[in-house]
Amino acid sequence: MILYLGLGVERLTAQTDTSFSPANTGTPDKIKVNNIYIIGNEKTKKSIILRELDFIEDYYYDWETFIEIIQADQKKIYNLRLFTSVEITPLLTGDEEAEVLITVKERWYILPSIIFQLADRNFSEWWTNQGRDFSRVNYGLRLSHSNVGGRNEKLRFAGQLGFTKALDIQYSKPYIDKNQKHGLAVQFKYFNNKTLAVKSEYNRQVFYTSPDEDVLRKNIAAALRYTYRRSFYNFHYVTLGFNHTWVSPLVLAESPNYFQHGTNSLRYLYMTYTFRHDRRDNVAYATDGELLELSMTKYGIFFTDELDEVEVNLTANKYFKISDKFNFNTGLTAEWFLSARQPYTLVRGIGYNPNFIRGYELNVIEGQQLYVHKNSFRWKFFDHDFDISKAVPLEQFNTIPIRLYLSANFDHGYVTDRNDIPTNQRLANQYLIGYGLGIDMVGLYDNVLRFEYSLNNMGEGNFFFNFKAPF
């Protein structure tokens, strides 16, 4: 006899979180897992799923602890972003014994897509500051395979024309060893521009196009990244990369400080170490858990005459799930450059992704140090799955989930500009506040659309439209 027990274990899907009702209130004090079965993984290797499990066969667990482990494991498997739903079910076969059934529904892994995206920092920048100029659009073709060989390997190719002509090739293999702890990734990228942001004035980007519309910048970059994942939630990354940027002499005539070493070509090797602790329930739109990321980059391992710089970055986000409908999220981002001035290709600040304050989307506030603290209180007021299987027979696309959240937002931050550029002092070295209301829509494959009205402490207000979760 096999007894099914849901016991409050959540079923994770791209659409919604639901809870099973217990089939039987009688539960054992402890449990031993005899076997683990997986169904639905037609392409994904079993080892990729088993890597996320914190329980093993032939071992006794306290029942309540076992249920907590299952709930956490469902989230880890779902955050592989290989499945639209994940369900782990314990099936009691004796007084203290169980079989475990893992049921997954795979996503569509090969996604050819048309690139049609704005070249500007965000939609509001393009709509307001750039006058809805369609010449500032990138278009092309992107081909992605998110589960090569069923081993969660990613292969991505993008060929792009338009405002920025680019070629981007990426390949990542999460595990190169039997114990599934070490991984590698490589990337090659080339792009050029005929119109280029050469500086900022009055906290807005200043773009330049040559009279003959010649190419103003060419960039080639390559990187190799090593990943070490010793535990479930902690990741270590070491990246070694090379970057070569050439700009037309016309750029230096317009902005003498674009580079700082006297030539129109910048070459450097760099190395980055990153520690990442990620325990979010959904990496695309989190409502529970935490994220901590700390990184340090040394620019200029060789060629230090052209660039010798250190950058430190910190991200610390906490997500509080108050109930199924309410959650509160808070996140701190901080960045530091050790030198007083950087080449313009490395300039950071509020207004550059992901560092923004709502209400200041139209501005860039550049400097050497910044902090941004973002906060959102959300209410999920709509949650429904639309069945379109009669029109779309493909299982991976025949259900369209829609979740709508009303969000109340409050952000604040500060940018330190040691150069005290007079035309940017309205917002640089000033305490900045932004607040407002918005509606977030989370849809198929956790794609996010955000509609917000925000005000800032300069008395300015506007509607803003974004395509990603704020943090």
What pLDDT does 128 receive? 81
Residue range 213-231: mean pLDDT, rounded = 95
Instruction: Please list the residue range(s) of the chain that carry CATH number 2.40.160.50.
Output: 110-466
By percentage, how much of the chain surpasses pLDDT 90?
A: 68
What digits encode the pLDDT tens for the residues 140-151?
888 999 999 999
Q: What are phi and psi of 253, to 5 degrees?
A: -65, -35
What digits encode the pLDDT tens for the residues 270-323?
999 999 999 999 999 999 999 999 999 999 997 788 899 999 999 999 999 999
> What pTM value is reported for the model?
0.85
What digits encode the pLDDT tens for the residues 224-278?
999 999 999 999 999 999 999 999 999 999 999 899 888 999 999 999 999 999 9
Cα of 347 vs its chain's centroid, Å? 21
What digits encode the pLDDT tens for the residues 324-379?
999 999 999 999 999 888 999 999 899 988 899 999 998 999 999 999 999 999 99
What pLDDT does 8 receive? 37
Which CATH architecture best describes the domain 110-466?
Answer: Beta Barrel (2.40)
- Spatial separation of the C-alpha atoms in residues 416 and 427, rounded to whole Å: 10
By percentage, how much of the chain surpasses pLDDT 70?
A: 94
Q: Which residues pair with 33 in a beta bridge?
A: 98
Residue range 390-398: mean pLDDT, rounded = 78
Comparing C-alpha atoms, which of 46, 59, 127, 52 is closest to residue 97?
A: 59
What pLDDT does 245 receive? 96
Q: What are phi and psi of 418, to 5 degrees?
A: -70, -15
- Spatial separation of the C-alpha atoms in residues 331 and 436, rounded to whole Å: 17
What pLDDT does 12 receive? 55
What pLDDT does 19 receive? 37
Q: Would you give the DSSP letter of residue 9? A: P
User: Mean pLDDT score of the chain, rounded to an integer?
Assistant: 89
Q: For residue 144, give the amino acid letter.
A: S
Cα of 420 vs its chain's centroid, Å? 32
Report, in angstroms and rounded to the nearest whole number, the Rg of the chain calculated over CA atoms.
25
DSSP 253-271: HH-TTSSSSSSSEEEEEEE
Give me the CATH topology for the region 3-106: Ubiquitin-like (UB roll) (3.10.20)
pLDDT band at residue 469 using 50, 70 and 90 as cut-offs: confident
What pLDDT does 237 receive? 98
What digits encode the pLDDT tens for the residues 154-171?
999 999 888 889 999 999
What digits encode the pLDDT tens for the residues 1-27?
344 444 433 445 544 343 333 444 467
What pLDDT does 415 receive? 96
Comparing C-alpha atoms, which of 358, 466, 376 is closest to residue 413?
A: 358
Residue range 381-389: mean pLDDT, rounded = 89
Residue range 130-145: mean pLDDT, rounded = 84
Token pair 């600040």 is found at 349
